[in-house]
A and B are shown apart, each in its own frame.
Chain A
Amino acid sequence: MDFLRPASWEEALAAKAEHPTAVPIAGGTDVMVEINFDHRRPEYLLDLNRIELLREWEVGEENVRLGASVPYTQIMEHLRAELPGLALASHTVASPQIRNRGGVGGNLGTASPAGDAHPALLAAGAEVEVESVRGSRFIPIDAFYTGVKRNALQPDELIKTVHIKKADGPQQYSKVGTRNAMVIAVCAFGLALHPETRTVRTGIGSAAPTPVRAREAEEFLNAALEEGGFWESGKIITPSIAKQFAELASGACNPIDDVRGTAKYRRHAVGIMARRTLGWTWEQYRGTGRTLEGAA
């Protein structure tokens, strides 16, 4: 195995162009596990740790530009207001040691349905900026996940920045694991209210071959909120709306049975999380602030 250590982003792109099979490594919290267990044995490892720009973030007018290697700890500490859903998701990632190393770029690169960041990115709305020597392009998050552990990257492309919409309303994130900390997701759910566009977006993790949005649930809820004038009135969402939203979210799952949980449980739990996260965000939107950010 050859270890490539580009000193700059340009060098990294050149290396990836020359060796398209090279596996990029930053925090190494995913890649090293795969290598240690001999699950993969890449010809080349492309170390991105010398590339400063990948560890930088910038809060813009509408978006947060999040470098692919910004560790989860930094997101939790510095971007809680702008990216509340992702900050909550970051809290659930593994252990403090892993959170100090791992970043969203790794989650996206691996594209495991169990990656903790995905539901939050789907709910917030994001674009993944990828680049190669041929140029750069923006991939909408909805089009990024193409299969089990597969994404829309071309072999010569690297993930540079994730452009995530700044929160314009409350966001929530829940994840079920069979331990109270340091656990891989049995399933997860992210929800973001977007009062500016009067829409609700969602993300489901670990309950389908890829991270997915619960589109029918979103459409139903968007229509119900609009028709009922909920955005203006801020009145309590009726239990029947919440129930149907939860059922549709549950229906958006396409899970499997595995050692971590049954498909039936995953569907059930996603429904419960959908109902609860809707309740928490809506309560906050209404202004009581009681359950702000989930107090993680």
Chain B
Amino acid sequence: MANDTRVAAAPAGTPTKVTQGSRTKGGIGESTLRPDGTLKVTGEFAYSSDMWHEDMLWGQILRSTVAHAEIVSIDTSEALAQAGVYAVLTYEDLPTEVKNYGLEIQDTPVLANGRVRHHGEPVALVAADHPETARRAAAKIKVEYKELPVVTDEASATAPDAPLLHPGRDDHHAGHVPHPNIVHRQPIVRGDADEAAKKADVIVSGEYVFGMQDQAFLGPESGLAVPAEDGGVDLYVATQWLHSDLRQIAPVLGLPEEKVRMTLSGVGGAFGGREDLSMQIHACLLALRTGKPVKIVYNRFESFFGHVHRHPAKLWYEHGATKDGKITHMRCRIVLDGGAYASASPAVVGNASSLAVGPYVVDDVDIEAIALYTNNPPCGAMRGFGAVQACFAYEAQMDKLAKKLGMDPVEFRRLNAMEQGTLMPTGQPVDSPAPVAELLRRIKARPLPPERQWESTEGADVRALPGGLSNTTHGEGVVRGVGYAVGIKNVGFSEGFDDYSTAKVRMEVINGEAVATVHTAMAEVGQGGITVHAQIARTELGVTQVTINPADTQVGSAGSTSASRQTYVTGGAVKNSCELVREKVLEIGRRKLGTHHPAWATAELLLEGGKVVTDGGEVLADLVDVLEDEVVEIEAEWRHRPTEPFDLRTGQGNGHVQYSFAAHRAVVEVDTELGLVKVIELACAQDVGKALNPLSVIGQIQGGTTQGLGVAVMEEIIVDPKTAKVKNPSFTDYLIPTILDTPTIPVDVLELADDHAPYGLRGIGEAPTLSSTPAVLAAIRNATGLELNKTPVRPEHLTGTL
């Protein structure tokens, strides 16, 4: 053990250069520090689970122990009789006619109504004066189930006699789906794939399987509902979109939206898993019933049942290419398992289909994507949202094509890479930079990490080898592999959604200094949005002090913290409101001081360093003198360019706002005898348009890369196909990467402005999650020579021991 002092193969320095600096200190382009950073690493940050209220009760949810059953009876008497229990609620206690909720289709029961459709579905609620009392009382509720047959895949879900998950559907997708157990179907047809296939010299096809990934955010679902004197309720909760929650909560409670006042509390990660409601309605119901504040905190076990997961998928792909390496056509069929309730399935289908080709020029395509209703756990939003599954498959296809053509996989991709002006299979032109070939060139040009880094004069450093501290190899069986992948992700909500954000910005003089306040409902889930908002306000208003007000529903919607959209859309809204405030301030200045200098009337004026200056840099006035005791406050909505729905038969339509591109090179070492993998390096190149906060940008890219690595080699929720029950709802058996599994992640950031976006920026959070997984898979294939059509790769796949 002579190597305790040697450097482990943990993330080393990041050889990344990004532009820094702006005209205003602490403005955009600077890596200003996050206000929550130190608190979080020292354990002092208050998460939603840390909240406390005097006289507070604890809520507990009783969940179904079976996946599909009729509820014959529920007996709550024993639970109610327990000392310390204040309320036990079932479906019968719901106060209004609105008993379901859902992001797009309101198909999810607040509490089960005579039937449960998946393992872990909420059946009853308990409020008690102690969490343990609540838990024991919940265990005393007697639910009699009569089990029903389960449907768990396409064949069983669409069989002629398949039990229907939602009989009598009347949602807006019901009319165009081929079977009622299909949530949504989106074909995309462009050109003539059959005709184009005739020009192909080589054709490759494959079936790919993507496992069910969990967001595995570290802060479990939690919140506190406090009943108010006006009959309303104040809800403090960790979520991704306050106003979307509000729209779903208020009707169930029978309250007008203004009586449900929501405030964001400390969010411990989200990654899509907080787009759907979890404990929100349940806590409010218990609080309103008991007249006492009610707190609900899931434990990790419950969290695995308390939020949707990434859709597992089966994907069939066929590509053709000419012998000089041009792709002729692509046909694919993507089957996503949405589980028991719709959640975000329709939008995931839209993404999977419209991004199914990847960042390549393919004129003739025939694409079909569907999402199923099954008795498996509900699936919905997760970082990468439909694009992840497709990227895993099309990138495997690219390698297969290159191999069959005898071409270098990177050169083959570069030859077919899309660029600005390329038409998407939806017919939408890509009208901003699409540096796909350049990203690939950069990751390939990077020097490879040295071989056999685990070797030293004193023996093998097992930490740098597959198996790590488990001491399974000292180099035996270890083979290196290198793999490449690139992906395309849309930014923002698509398909005609009114994807706006609201920002309220105030400027005033406090203690002799002009300061700004920014108020939005943006959910800070760790992405660094509040840091960026302050930077934007400093840049636009030329102030140093910016206060960010807590996010709540007292201001208009900021949309969801998802789809890589917040810096673009709510950042755009903050910028817009700042510009409106600036105009107003300059108007005041002209009114008060316009006669003092001709430039007030003639020059382009800016706010910088607390002063009004001309674009030539001449100071006209101090903001303190302009504003005096006036307060300028503006709340305004801001919208990006509108999108349109995809045609239901052809998939044509300008459906997306913006595209985001990242490429990865994975270097892995595989113990080929034991089937264990060590990722040595996972280099990323990504175009970010403009890095508003370079450090946060790199953090997002490294985080997304690591999440992609997780699903490549370890992360999977395992559902028993016979019972549709989850087999590994714990961090003992649902594994996420530790720091020893996380390689060096050098990041190469490009900043090619998108002229349609604020500051030219590009949403960045998701793209690195796409290409990371197929790059690791490609590297493992390269090391082992195995085909590997399933992710995550398990040791059994690498050793033929399934």
Residues of A at the B interface (CB closer than 8 Å) are 36-38, 80, 88, 91-92, 172-184, 186, 259-262, 264-265, 267-269, 272-273, 276, 279-280, 290-296
List 9 interface pairs A-B (beta carbons < 8 Å), by A numbering.
A91-B471, A180-B740, A181-B468, A260-B733, A261-B794, A262-B796, A268-B799, A272-B477, A276-B474
| Residue pair A37, B795 in contact (C-beta under 8 Å) | no
| Residue pair B470, A176 in contact (C-beta under 8 Å) | yes
Chain A residues with CB under 8 Å of B463's CB are 180
Chain A residues with CB under 8 Å of B51's CB are none
| Residue pair A259, B718 in contact (C-beta under 8 Å) | yes
* Bound CA–CA A36/B299 (angstroms): 10
| Residue pair B733, A259 in contact (C-beta under 8 Å) | yes
Residues of B at the A interface (CB closer than 8 Å) are 1-3, 135, 299, 301, 458-463, 466-474, 476-477, 673-676, 678, 713-714, 718, 727-728, 732-733, 735, 737-741, 794-796, 799, 801-802
CB contact under 8 A between A259 and B738, given known A91-B471, A176-B676, A264-B802: no
Q: Which of B470, B735, B738 has the most CB of A within 10 A?
A: B470
CB contact under 8 A between A269 and B674, given known A262-B796, A262-B801, A276-B476: yes
* Bound CA–CA A227/B168 (angstroms): 79
* Bound CA–CA A37/B713 (angstroms): 28
Chain B residues with CB under 8 Å of A175's CB are 470-472
CB contact under 8 A between A92 and B1, given known A180-B740, A292-B459: no
The secondary-structure label for the interface of chain B is: loop
CB contact under 8 A between A272 and B796, given known A91-B469, A295-B1: no
Cβ distance B255 to chain A, nearest Cβ, rounded Å: 35
Chain A residues with CB under 8 Å of B477's CB are 272
| Residue pair B674, A272 in contact (C-beta under 8 Å) | yes
Q: Which residue of B lies closest to A183 (CB)?
A: B735
| Residue pair A293, B796 in contact (C-beta under 8 Å) | no
Q: Which residue of A lies closest to B475 (CB)?
A: A291
* Bound CA–CA A181/B678 (angstroms): 11
Cβ distance B177 to chain A, nearest Cβ, rounded Å: 33
Q: Which residue of B lies closest to A269 (CB)?
A: B674
* Bound CA–CA A269/B468 (angstroms): 16
Q: Which residue of B lies closest to A189 (CB)?
A: B472
| Residue pair A37, B737 in contact (C-beta under 8 Å) | no
Chain B residues with CB under 8 Å of A293's CB are 1
* Bound CA–CA A264/B795 (angstroms): 11
| Residue pair B471, A173 in contact (C-beta under 8 Å) | yes
Q: Which of A172, A259, A279 has the most CB of B within 10 A?
A: A259
| Residue pair A179, B738 in contact (C-beta under 8 Å) | yes
| Residue pair A296, B471 in contact (C-beta under 8 Å) | yes
Cβ distance A107 to chain B, nearest Cβ, rounded Å: 16
| Residue pair B1, A261 in contact (C-beta under 8 Å) | no
* Bound CA–CA A80/B4 (angstroms): 14
Q: Which of B469, B740, B795 contacts A296 (CB 8 A)?
A: B469
| Residue pair A272, B673 in contact (C-beta under 8 Å) | yes
7 further interface pairs, Cβ-Cβ under 8 Å (given A181-B738, A181-B740): A174-B467, A178-B794, A180-B738, A259-B728, A259-B733, A261-B795, A291-B459
* Bound CA–CA A296/B461 (angstroms): 7
Cβ distance A81 to chain B, nearest Cβ, rounded Å: 11
Q: Across the A-B interface, how many residue pairs have beta carbons closer than 8 Å?
A: 124
* Bound CA–CA A36/B132 (angstroms): 10
CB contact under 8 A between A280 and B801, given known A292-B459, A293-B1: no
* Bound CA–CA A259/B728 (angstroms): 7
* Bound CA–CA A259/B737 (angstroms): 18
* Bound CA–CA A37/B802 (angstroms): 31
* Bound CA–CA A61/B426 (angstroms): 79
* Bound CA–CA A269/B738 (angstroms): 23
* Bound CA–CA A176/B466 (angstroms): 10
CB contact under 8 A between A265 and B799, given known A184-B732, A295-B459: yes
* Bound CA–CA A37/B729 (angstroms): 12
Chain A residues with CB under 8 Å of B735's CB are 178-179, 183
Q: Which of B461, B468, B741 contacts A295 (CB 8 A)?
A: B461
| Residue pair B471, A92 in contact (C-beta under 8 Å) | yes
Q: Which of B461, B673, B714, B727 contacts A178 (CB 8 A)?
A: B714
Chain A residues with CB under 8 Å of B468's CB are 179-181
Chain B residues with CB under 8 Å of A178's CB are 676, 713-714, 735, 794-795
Q: Which of B301, B459, B713, B737 has the most CB of A within 10 A?
A: B459
Cβ distance B136 to chain A, nearest Cβ, rounded Å: 9
Cβ distance B716 to chain A, nearest Cβ, rounded Å: 9
Cβ distance B672 to chain A, nearest Cβ, rounded Å: 10
Cβ distance B707 to chain A, nearest Cβ, rounded Å: 15
Nearest 5 pairs of A and B residues by beta carbon:
A180-B468, A265-B801, A295-B459, A181-B740, A264-B801
| Residue pair B2, A295 in contact (C-beta under 8 Å) | yes
Chain A residues with CB under 8 Å of B802's CB are 262, 264-265
Q: Which of A184, A269, A279, A295 contacts B460 (CB 8 A)?
A: A295
* Bound CA–CA A172/B728 (angstroms): 31
CB contact under 8 A between A291 and B301, given known A176-B795, A180-B468, A272-B674: no
Q: Which residue of B lies closest to A37 (CB)?
A: B301
* Bound CA–CA A12/B678 (angstroms): 47
Q: Which residue of B lies closest to A33 (CB)?
A: B732
Cβ distance A249 to chain B, nearest Cβ, rounded Å: 14
* Bound CA–CA A276/B470 (angstroms): 13
Q: Which residue of A lies closest to B713 (CB)?
A: A178
Cβ distance A157 to chain B, nearest Cβ, rounded Å: 29
CB contact under 8 A between A183 and B474, given known A176-B674, A260-B733, A261-B795: no
CB contact under 8 A between A180 and B470, given known A269-B674, A295-B462: yes
Q: Which of A173, A262, A295 has the most CB of B within 10 A?
A: A295
Cβ distance A150 to chain B, nearest Cβ, rounded Å: 21
* Bound CA–CA A85/B49 (angstroms): 42
Chain A residues with CB under 8 Å of B796's CB are 261-262, 264-265
Q: Which of B461, B678, B740, B801 contacts A268 (CB 8 A)?
A: B801
Cβ distance B295 to chain A, nearest Cβ, rounded Å: 18
Q: Which of A180, A186, A295 has the most CB of B within 10 A?
A: A180
Cβ distance B626 to chain A, nearest Cβ, rounded Å: 56
Cβ distance A167 to chain B, nearest Cβ, rounded Å: 15
| Residue pair A174, B471 in contact (C-beta under 8 Å) | yes
* Bound CA–CA A264/B676 (angstroms): 16
* Bound CA–CA A54/B473 (angstroms): 34
* Bound CA–CA A295/B471 (angstroms): 8
Chain B residues with CB under 8 Å of A174's CB are 467, 470-472
| Residue pair B462, A296 in contact (C-beta under 8 Å) | yes
Cβ distance A69 to chain B, nearest Cβ, rounded Å: 23
Chain A residues with CB under 8 Å of B676's CB are 176, 178, 180
CB contact under 8 A between A276 and B469, given known A176-B795, A265-B799, A295-B460: no
Chain A residues with CB under 8 Å of B466's CB are 180
| Residue pair A176, B467 in contact (C-beta under 8 Å) | yes
Cβ distance A2 to chain B, nearest Cβ, rounded Å: 16
CB contact under 8 A between A176 and B474, given known A184-B732, A264-B802, A272-B673: no
| Residue pair B472, A181 in contact (C-beta under 8 Å) | no
Chain A residues with CB under 8 Å of B299's CB are 36
